[in-house]
């Protein structure tokens, strides 16, 4: 029998609640930031706790830079940048880094693409040479055979990670019903396979030339480094790369739903039914983003959370659930995800979610609840920057998307400064 998955997009429910405030100790990461003549932003962070170096290059190009009919290009180039470049042979990137005792990888999302390495400090020059080669000298290797090879790779990835995986189409079904067709979040990062199949070699080459220039990237070098020596190496390998076109940052494009939508998706790979509620919210720099982060945890995190108490403990409709706020560069979603038992009726789960909302409105929460979740958030934050590569990711991310690495501390402080009235306000506005 086919299992059904329900996706609900809710617009608003109104409540009234009270207020409080929590202060936090300021936090900083030491760094030096400068810009090459070609526009590449370079950030150096010294951490001599181990004889290693982490390198992260954040390109400000994700699937939100694509257009309808031309999707999947950013994800395609995530693969192509690992295939070969003018001075590095086919499939040699991983081999070279592994031979020096390091690791590397990359990833693409809706807002950007990041490439990273962690290597012994004496291998830094090798990494800089490799990264500069694929930033400045990739285009000659973007040939028809290479393009066709990566088209096949992407098709296989979609089969493995989406088509033949339980709940693999969840994200696709949600965003297609959440965002209008022209909205840059209306398609998944992997894109529409038909778009890649119909794309020409010239299409993908033009996409690379537009978005992968040094002036559309931030490079962080963190670890056991001598800054003066590193600057010389950066200039040596990246200084002669030509700047790309000037591309502005995308503006927020929040959406609202005129009515609640219910979408049923039959998933032959799912062993248990899943209900996902997706509520449209805001971009990651919006004033409400921090309060939404804590609201999502108050609703679903821990045994005191109303969603857990009603759905898991009392009604025993599911073994687990989670809720989280996913704010991105131009829009955001508050998710509630309930994985039921095999025999669970998702209509009962939906009713239980609303019962939990009613309980949250009636019983509210305490300052102690808020303080506990802030402490948990802060712990996770520090765990995320406990390694040189973790710090590299954060420095690159906040510089590229917030305009300065200092935003790391600012965004943490915003969460720690959220009070009870802030949470109640965003609940009224978005749930």
Gyration radius from the chain CA atoms: 23
Q: Rounded CA gap, 5 and 321, in Å?
A: 14
Structure confidence at residue 20 (pLDDT): 34
Domains (ranges, CATH) in the chain? 3-26+252-430 (3.30.830.10), 32-238 (3.30.830.10)
Structure confidence at residue 174 (pLDDT): 98
CB atoms within 10 A of CB 7: 20
Strands 113-120 and 274-280: unpaired
pLDDT tens readout for residues 125-146: 999 999 999 999 999 999 999 9
The answer to whether 369 and 7 are in contact (CB under 8 A) is: no
pTM for the full model?
Answer: 0.91
Return the SS3 of 86. coil
Q: Rounded CA gap, 191 and 248, in Å?
A: 23
Q: Rounded CA gap, 295 and 425, in Å?
A: 10
Report the DSSP beta bridge partners of residue 43. Answer: 33, 220
Q: Compute the half-sphere exposure of residue 325: CA atoms within 13 Å on the CB side of its CA.
A: 26
pLDDT tens readout for residues 370-412: 999 999 999 999 999 999 999 999 999 999 999 999 999 999 9
What's the Cα-to-Cα distance from 229 to each of 122, 124, 136, 214, rounded to whole Å?
12, 11, 22, 20
Q: Rounded CA gap, 14 and 426, in Å?
A: 10
Q: Rounded CA gap, 258 and 11, in Å?
A: 8
The answer to whether 419 and 19 are in contact (CB under 8 A) is: yes
Structure confidence at residue 26 (pLDDT): 67
Collect the ranges in the chain with pLDDT lower than 70. 1-26
Q: Which residue shows structure tokens 């019903």?
A: 177
Structure confidence at residue 63 (pLDDT): 98
Strand order in the sheet with 52-59: 32-35, 41-46, 217-223, 52-59, 113-120, 103-108
Report the DSSP beta bridge partners of residue 35. Answer: 41
Return the SS3 of 178. helix
Structure confidence at residue 25 (pLDDT): 53
Q: Rounded CA gap, 74 and 401, in Å?
A: 17
Return the SS3 of 104. strand
List of residues 6+ apart from 132 with CB closer than 8 A:
237, 238, 241
Q: What's the token pair of residue 346?
A: 């998702």
Helix residue spans in 364-406 (DSSP H): 367-384, 388-402
Structure confidence at residue 17 (pLDDT): 28
pLDDT tens readout for residues 80-119: 999 999 999 999 999 999 999 999 999 999 999 999 999 9
């Amino acid at each position: 029998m086919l299992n059904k998955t329900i996706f609900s997009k809710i617009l608003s429910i109104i409540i009234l609640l009270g207020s409080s405030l929590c202060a936090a100790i300021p936090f900083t990461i030491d760094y030096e930031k400068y810009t090459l003549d070609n526009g590449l932003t370079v950030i150096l962070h010294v951490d001599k706790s181990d004889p290693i170096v982490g390198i992260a290059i954040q390109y400000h190009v994700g699937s939100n830079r694509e257009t309808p009919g031309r999707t999947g290009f950013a994800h395609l180039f995530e693969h192509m940048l690992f295939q070969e470049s003018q001075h590095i042979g086919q499939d040699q990137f991983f081999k070279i880094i592994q031979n020096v005792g390091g690791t590397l990888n990359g990833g693409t999302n809706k807002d950007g693409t990041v490439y990273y390495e962690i290597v012994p400090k004496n291998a830094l020059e090798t990494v800089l040479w490799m990264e500069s080669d694929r930033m400045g000298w990739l285009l000659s290797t973007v040939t028809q055979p290479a393009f066709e090879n990566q088209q096949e790779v992407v098709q296989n990835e979609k089969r493995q990670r989406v088509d033949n995986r339980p709940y693999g189409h969840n994200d696709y079904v949600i965003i297609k019903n959440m965002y209008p067709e022209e909205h840059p979040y209306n398609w998944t990062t992997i894109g529409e396979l038909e778009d890649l199949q119909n794309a020409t070699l010239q299409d993908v080459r033009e996409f690379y030339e537009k978005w992968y220039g040094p002036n559309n990237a931030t490079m962080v070098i963190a670890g056991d480094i001598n800054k003066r020596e590193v600057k010389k190496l950066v200039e040596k390998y990246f200084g002669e790369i030509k700047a790309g076109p000037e591309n502005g940052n995308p503006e927020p494009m929040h959406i609202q739903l005129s009515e609640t939508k219910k979408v049923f998706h039959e998933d032959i790979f799912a062993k248990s039914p899943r209900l996902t509620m997706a509520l449209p919210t805001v971009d990651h720099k919006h004033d409400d983003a921090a309060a939404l982060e804590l609201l999502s945890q108050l609703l679903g995190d821990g045994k005191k959370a109303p969603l857990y108490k009603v759905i898991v403990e009392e009604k025993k409709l599911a073994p687990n659930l989670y809720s989280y706020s996913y704010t991105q560069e131009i829009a955001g979603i508050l998710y509630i995800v309930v994985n039921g038992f095999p025999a669970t009726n998702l209509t009962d789960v939906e009713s239980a979610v609303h019962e939990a909302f009613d309980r949250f409105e009636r019983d509210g929460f305490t300052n102690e609840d808020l303080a506990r979740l802030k402490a948990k958030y802060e712990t996770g934050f520090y765990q995320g920057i406990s390694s040189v590569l973790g710090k590299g990711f954060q420095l690159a991310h906040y510089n590229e998307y917030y305009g300065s690495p200092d935003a790391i501390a600012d965004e943490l402080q915003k969460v720690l400064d959220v009070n009870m009235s802030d949470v109640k306000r965003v609940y009224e506005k978005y749930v």
